[in-house]
Each structure stands twice: as C-alpha cells, then as structure tokens.
Structure 1
Amino acid sequence: MRNVTDECLQIVIGDGHPMFIDGIRALLHTIDTLSIVAEVATGSAAYRSILDYSPHIAILDSAMPGMRGLAILEQLRTDAEGTAVIILSDCEETTYVHRVLATGVRGYVLKRSTGSSIIEAVHAVSRGGLYLDPAVAAQIIPTGVFGVSGTMGRKPAGRTLTDREREVLRLIALGFTNKEVAGRLGITTKSIETYKTRATDKLDIHSRAKIVQYAMIQGWLESPLP
C-alpha cells in the first residue's frame, strides 16, 4: 500500500448486507480525512471498483456473494498492489485467518466487534501497519509455530538475522510484494528473494502466514515504514 500523509483516504466498502454498509458508512463519516468512493454488495463488484478507483483501503465482507472463497483476495494482491484490504468476518478459526493473511490482507476484524475496531484497523493500515482483531490475535500468536504457547513474549531468533534480512521479512509480513520491497529499499528483486530465503531458512519458517506470526511476536509491525 502507498504511504498516506495528508491526502484524503479513499475507501471502497463491500458487504452483502445493506445494514452493515449503512453502519460502516456512518462510522467512516465521523473521520474528516476519509472519502468513500464506492459501496458494493458482491465480490466481483468489489474487484471492479478497486481496479477502477485504486482506493487506499478496501473494507470487504469475506462472506459476501461472489468472493469465491479467497480467489478475489488473491487477484487483488496481484492486480491492486496499492490497495490495502481489511476483511470483516464472523470466522475466528485460526486456520482460516492464516489463509486470509497469506493473501496479503492487512486487516482482519470480527463482525461482532465494536465499530471502534474498524476505525482502529483503518488507522493502523493507513500508517502501513497490520491490524488483527484482539480476539483473533489472542488465538493466533500463542498457537504459532515457534514454540510460543500461552505467552505473548517474543521468541529470540535461532540464528541472528542481519538488519537487511529483518527489514525484508518485516515488509513482506506487512503485505508488500517482492517487487514493492525492492523499490522501497532500492535494491533488485533478486536480492530481495535472496535475503528472504536466508531469513526464512535461519528461522525455519516457509509460509507468509508464519512470517506474519513471527513478525507480530517480535513487534516488527509496530514500527514505521522506511
């Protein structure tokens, strides 16, 4: 997602239930720096609107008609790299959340949460961060694959990462593609692939969902983007 400073945040909302659309609109209208550019009710309409408007953020219901499982999210990761997606969902199942995060989604909010969670997600994502609903984060981090059970403590890396390896892995965890990371750091895509491979081999983590978990445990997602 592109950096946002003083410009107005453009947002697409997608939900199959008109009442939810109304509620989200009312919430977002409380923030002067936001502009809703499209409201849609299906996954295909969301995809078209995001490509047409290139919004900063898209807030999408994972269960709305036409989402085709995670297919729309996979397409957006490739075709709309500048748009950060926040998912609204009723599902708290860890496996499903991992699969959603692996598509490059930058926010995951439970529909049963208060409206403030959506606002917090928008603010976090607009600053280049990643937002997980607290109820979801509490399940994901303690049950990660790093031997972290029942604790939010940070796990030391088995082999120390270099500063460059750490920064590459952090940006990947934040949802950036290898090409975007290369552009931000001013190095080649091939170099990014090399740093990523070295880092994941050292940590023995080989999926994006596990990279995100590790980054959250280390606190990497709280620092500003380069």
Structure 2
Amino acid sequence: MERLGNLIVIGAVLCGAGHALADPITYTGYVLSDVTLGGHYYSGAQVYISLESDTTTALPFSDSTGSGYRNEVGRGRVRIVAGRHIITARFEPNQIYAFFDVAHSSIGFGSYLTAGRTYPLAVTAMDDQDGLVTNSSVGAVSDIMTTPANAANYTPDTATLTTNLANETALSGAVSSVPSIALRTDRGDFVLYEPYTVNYGSGPYSVNWGFFWATLGKGNHEEDNDIGTLTEE
C-alpha cells in the first residue's frame, strides 16, 4: 500500500505540473532485433513501435502482477528499417498498449494477447551477472518513484525523467520481447524476436538494449502516404 501511495502522490504532482489537460502524446520504443512482418523476415533490423494516444487516457493501475501506469487507448504503428528498406504498418485495434510498471522497473508496450507485460517490447532494469545491461535509467526512475528519498542518490536530471505516461520522458534499459507471438497489422502478422540472450543455467535472458520515449503533440507519420511499400533510402 505504501508503494501504491507513493505512485498516487507522484502522479498528482506530475499532473499538477501541467499535464492534467488533454494533450496528444506519442510513445515510442526502439530496439535492434530480428522481426517478421507479413511473412517477411528481417535480421538485425531497427524496430520502432509507437502508440499515438492522449494524456487523459494514461491511468494508474495496481494488480497482482505489478503497479504503475497504463494507456490502453490509441493507434499503434511499427516501422522497420532493414538495410536500405523501410517498412511501415499499422497495428489492428486491441493489439498493444503502453505501460510503465514502476514496481518491476519496466516500461514499454504490452499485448492483449499475452498474460504479462513483456511483449512486444519491454525496457527493463536487469541486474545481470555480466553487467551487460545493468545501470538502466528505467531502474533509476523506478527507484525514485518508489522511494522518493532515493532521489538524493542520483543526479538532479535523473529525477526529471519520472513519468506517469502523461509527460515527456526518455528511458533506456535491457529489452525483453517474449513470448514471440503474432500481432495483427494491416500488412500481416508482426512477430518480434529475442535473438540476443545469455544463459548461466537458470534459463536464457536478454542482453539486448533499447529505448522508450514519450513526446507531447501529434506524431509525424509522413510515411503513411506510402504505407505498405518498400522505400529505397
């Protein structure tokens, strides 16, 4: 209850800072990974997943799997950059939503087709054995939001990244994309994989790195004029 209370207080402060009024917001996640779209496989591609939404639909949540903020309303898109090709598509309704699970230091996009919030893209705080994906900004921000007194352990700029999904932010960390299942788009099924992993005997986990950011205002999607085409750069 104390953790949820802290989230409510921080959410109120963020809204009081000028984000209570309706305002378009776009969430974007980025990862370098293997991906399939419409039966075409792209290895080591740049993958951008986005959701155009509104600040008023970013709401607190608390359940048996975590607590934080979630925005389930908006238009989802994916953009794949593979070599000289750029491929774009729109997600069909009810395929993805944006979330920030403060309790588990995880932010990104969840799917209605999976039970958890690890697919298609979750930027997480992973204290792995090798230290390859440790010291994430999403972990630092979750720490500050869970225990505000811990802000003294970080630079002042770090605290400016705290978010209730109704303000601008930019966070990085290890990326999880499991289980790899098909999500529907206007160009066919989209599947994002988790090809870069390590296993010390307790099971594989991702050692990939990615980003999540939120920007206020309407997104710029000029590529919609040629959606579904291959564009030579």
Report which structure shows greater RCO (CA 8 Å, sep ≥6): 2
Q: TM-score range by the shorter chain?
A: 0.3 to 0.5
Structure that is richer in helix per residue: 1
TM-score, with structure 2 as normaliser: 0.33
Structure that is richer in strand per residue: 2
